[in-house]
Structure 1
Amino acid sequence: MSSGPWGVKTSLPNAHFLNPIPQHLRALVVDYLFQNCYGDTARTLLNDSGVRQLDADGDEIMSEPTAPSPDPLSLPPEAVRSLALRREIRRNILSGRVEHAMDLITQHFPSVLTPAPSSHSSSSPPPPDTTQFLYARSLEPHHISLNLRIQAFIEAMRTSPLPGDPPPTPALTDSDTDKVQLVHSARKLNIAVQALPDQEDLKQYAKELEHVMSLLAYTVPENSPAARYMSPERREAVADQVNSAILHRTGYRSTSSVELSARYTTVLWSFLHDLKVKPPPESSRPAGVRLPPNDTSGPVPNKATDKDSDIVPVFDLQQFLTSRTS
């Protein structure tokens, strides 16, 4: 078990999930809010979810004032500072002000972009994730630094702001000068990629730069074949990676307990499904335990799918959430 920023255990034994108490559930939610920079919401939850004693009529019993006792879910000052800075950095990335975000990271969390000379990675970085951008889940400083610099280059080529962006304040007025500066930035990016010591990193980022640089050939890059690089989803992914890296470098877990549980559950049920494990009969399951919802919206079942219905289903988080809200 590990302690979160509020000093409570955020990794609970499995037995607690069958009979959760309000404090466990509250800690799980507050942990998620802290991880994702929702500081005001976390504080409101902590203030509004305290245990109250009620009389027979349902009125709150007002006790005599006593010396305040420390709340095990209170937020330490350093965590408050970190959360506020992470929120500001995230806000800048999501609004396209990537260079300002990098300045804040360099000032307050330098190890996120530049590792200490004596530090070494304890494990090999995750494989490239080409669905959003390279090494999307990596916490390695050189991956994060390059992803931010590439994003800053993309933002410099943007011809129309995304919804919610601040009004543009261009520093240059000459279009030719703008293009020269973009080409200069592209060259600096290429030099940074060529300096990568790992050959697989170099290969992957060289391919990435080739796609990104193709945006230069279009007057309106948002309408180019590489327009996916201009999407708000990419901004979100970069902001999430930076937030996780800051948490990791400041001594906190880089992923919330809720997300870890969702990943674990997805992998576990997929593994059981692939092994064609049959679920125990309902009468032998603990009270309240149900199988994940199974998608029956597909084609008419055949013999193969009939056979599959006897084994545990694959866990689909989106379907699970939909079934809980419908």
Structure 2
Amino acid sequence: MSSSSSHIYTPTPPLTHRNWQVNTYLFHLYQSFISQKRALILDYLVQRCYTRTARAFAADSTIRHLDADGDEIRRPHGEDDALGITEEVLHQADLRRDVQTGILSGRIDDTINLLNDNFPSILSSSASTSAGTESTTHKVEHSQSRRVRTVLPFTVEPAHLYLDLRILAFIEASRTKPLPYSLSRPPTSDPELIPRISPSSNFRDPSGEADGDAHLARLLKHVYELYDCAQALQDPHERAEYQHELSAVSSLLAYKVPEQSPMAKYLAQERRQLVADEINSAILYRAGCHPISYLELCVRYNTAIWNYMNEHDFRVPHSRGWPAGIVLPSRSQPMPPSAPLAAKVSVSRQDDLEIVPTFDLSRFLSTST
């Protein structure tokens, strides 16, 4: 055999069963990560009623299964994507979006009608608030409301939701200047809601003429009705909270132009947004869905964990020795080591450790790519 035979190319041995198992595991791990990330984004978009974006993202991010020739494998008819969204879910999100738009536009009476038509369970006990309900039903709903408060800053109790909407309706009727709300796109099910704001007949007349006096009388009657609804609440603490809220809100009547008064905060768009978020969460809760998105839960979890570790001076090896792409949350400024821990750790080890920073969502988003 010639010397050149030692340079003959030897083909790579065929893939072993062990290597095949490892590659298959890594492939499925990657697919699982992509699927979970996709589900997290879709859940947030649907929960926030961004249905047009959710449809586009679902179509563009669908995981396509290919055969050996690279052709897409048709899935059996009726087989759903477990991490996808259905048209029914999107339709319900569109209805919730219409409710949100009504509140954000200040059209509270229209919103209550939408809720009664499409989500009757949300305000189901509002009509019978003053008449009272069975004690067992009230206790069940009250306990449910208490449980959900550990997750939500809102209430899901129908009587509370109705009161919050009626209080907002009073605020809207107390305006002397319109507060228009613009949206980048019209709602799907009721495009008439978008260009409209509260009609001029709902505004107070600061001139104090006859029509203004009549409107003021209607507002006073509205206040008395709100106090009656608050008085009908069975829990004394809740009753006191709403009565305190009503005493503050009703002071809007003391000013000829409340938008220029110390009570102007009640007339801000943020008040509408707060009620809109409360109603949206209540609809999801009554439908058996999670009332807040998984993305928000993840942010809460990371904020609590990272802040706890930072508060207790947890230290980790310096990130310069970590794999590429893995970093600690960014910090606004370097933090000095704590004195008690510094005394226990040698100088040589101090260079290899750093205090865990706090988690700040705004800073995290601004530094992420």
Q: Identify the TM-score tier after normalising by the shorter chain.
A: 0.7 to 0.9
Say whether the 8 Å CA contact 2:39–2:84 is kept in structure 1: no
Alignment correspondent of 1:124? 146
Please tell me whether residue 23 in structure 1 is matched to residue 35 in structure 2. yes
Amino acid at match of 2:302: T
Q: 1:221 to 1:136 in 2, by over 3 A?
A: farther
Of the three residues 157, 176, 179, the one matched with 1:159 is: 176
Alignment correspondent of 2:349? none
Alignment correspondent of 1:50? 62
Cα deviation for residue 152 of structure 1 reads: 0.9
Say whether the 8 Å CA contact 1:136–1:238 is kept in structure 2: no
Alignment correspondent of 1:142? 159
Equivalent pairs, count: 297
SS in structure 1 of the partner of residue 289 of structure 2? coil
Runs of 4+ in 1 over 4 A off after TM superposition: 16-20, 60-69, 125-128, 283-287, 301-305, 307-310
Say whether the 8 Å CA contact 2:314–2:356 is kept in structure 1: yes
The alignment yields a C-alpha RMSD, in angstroms, of 3.5
Bigger mean CA deviation after superposition, 41-50 or 250-259: 41-50
Q: What's the TM-score, normalizing by structure 1?
A: 0.78
SS in structure 1 of the partner of residue 290 of structure 2? coil
CA deviation profile, 1:137-157 (whole Å, cap 9, x unmatched): 222222222211111111111
Q: 1:324 to 1:17 in 2, by over 3 A?
A: farther
Please tell me whether residue 216 in structure 1 is matched to residue 253 in structure 2. yes
Q: 1:186 to 1:49 in 2, by over 3 A?
A: same
Alignment correspondent of 1:199? 236
Say whether the 8 Å CA contact 1:125–1:138 is kept in structure 2: no
Say whether the 8 Å CA contact 1:159–1:221 is kept in structure 2: yes
- 2-side partners of 1:96 and 1:123: how far apart? 26
- 2-side partners of 1:52 and 1:156: how far apart? 53
- 2-side partners of 1:253 and 1:266: how far apart? 20
**Which structure 2 segments of 5+ residues have no match?**
1-27, 126-132, 183-195, 206-210, 343-352
Q: What's the TM-score, normalizing by structure 2?
A: 0.70
- 2-side partners of 1:20 and 1:225: how far apart? 54
Cα deviation for residue 85 of structure 1 reads: 1.2
CA deviation profile, 1:67-121 (whole Å, cap 9, x unmatched): 6563414433442332121011011001000121112112222222235953432
SS in structure 1 of the partner of residue 121 of structure 2? helix
CA deviation profile, 1:221-250 (whole Å, cap 9, x unmatched): 111111111111111111111001000101
- Matches for 1:233-312 after TM superposition, within 5 Å: 233-282=270-319, 288-296=325-333, 310-312=354-356
- 2-side partners of 1:21 and 1:33: how far apart? 19
- 2-side partners of 1:278 and 1:32: how far apart? 33
- 2-side partners of 1:222 and 1:17: how far apart? 56
- 1-side partners of 2:156 and 2:314: how far apart? 36
Please tell me whether residue 87 in structure 1 is matched to residue 97 in structure 2. yes
Cα deviation for residue 209 of structure 1 reads: 1.1
- 2-side partners of 1:311 and 1:65: how far apart? 51
- 2-side partners of 1:251 and 1:127: how far apart? 16
Structure showing greater radius of gyration is: 2
Alignment correspondent of 1:315? 359
Please tell me whether residue 230 in structure 1 is matched to residue 267 in structure 2. yes
- 2-side partners of 1:253 and 1:127: how far apart? 13
Say whether the 8 Å CA contact 2:122–2:158 is kept in structure 1: yes
